[in-house]
Amino acid sequence: MVAKYNGPVCKLCRREGIKLFLKGDRCYTGKCAVDRRTYAPGQHGQNKKKISDYGLHLREKQKARRVYGVLERQFRRYVGLASKARGVTGETLLRILERRLDNVVYRMGFAGSRAEARQLILHNHFAINGRKVNIPSYLLRPGDEIEVREKSRNLARFLELAEQFQGRAVPEWLSVDRQAMKGTIVRLPEREEIDTPVKESLIVEHYSR
């Protein structure tokens, strides 16, 4: 399921008060809306008010949903899967979100943002283990190989991305061959390797109410 928010994504970052990196490279420049306007959007955005415990839990959940571009129904399903698995529920939830194909494509540098990754996946530009997959929410497993399909490798956007991310670090749980435009899931990520700025324990508490 693909999130269908069509409004200004910079407002989402301002609402959460941090950079969610929803616009790719722009988030690293002086044009970032969070850097220029450090208050929430809207008429009362500059009015500071105390947030309730429920509000704190809700904000963490919304933050995670917006980072990964997941709708409420699917996010709730991920929480359910995490609660049934072994280990710490919050960390398991983040690992599930990191395993999404759109996130892995972004992490590997084959897209400038998760939103762009979803668009490229929907347009049939990627294959998993040699088979075409156009489902952004597809959950990958260790050992899976993701590649830009051969017919897409010479497209201007992929050549631009290959040049742009040539020196960018890739998480250690992933292995990437930029020249061949392919990568592999080496293992599941550890919590300290996931840079998503959320307090996952508050998310779990939110759904335990």
pLDDT over 70 at 3, yes or no: no
**Greater confidence, 195 or 50?**
195
Burial 139-175 (b: 16+ CB within 10 A, else e): bbeeebebbbeeebeeeeebeebbeebeeeeebebbe
Give strand pairing partners of 126.
Answer: 148
Question: What integer is the mean pLDDT of 125-142?
Answer: 98
Question: What integer is the mean pLDDT of 187-197?
Answer: 96
Tokens linked to 26:
């722009």
Model confidence pLDDT, tens digit, residues 47-70: 666 789 998 999 999 999 999 999
* Contact indicator for 69, 116 with CB cutoff of 8 Å: no
pLDDT over 70 at 173, yes or no: yes
**Greater confidence, 188 or 19?**
188
**Greater confidence, 3 or 76?**
76
pLDDT over 80 at 161, yes or no: yes
User: What does the pLDDT read at residue 195?
Assistant: 94
Element spanning 182, H or E: strand 182-185
Distance of CA 191 to the CA centre of its chain: 15
User: What does the pLDDT read at residue 51?
Assistant: 80
User: What does the pLDDT read at residue 1?
Assistant: 44
What percent of the chain clears pLDDT 70, i.e. is strictly above it? 77
Domains and CATH numbers, the chain: 100-185 (3.10.290.10)
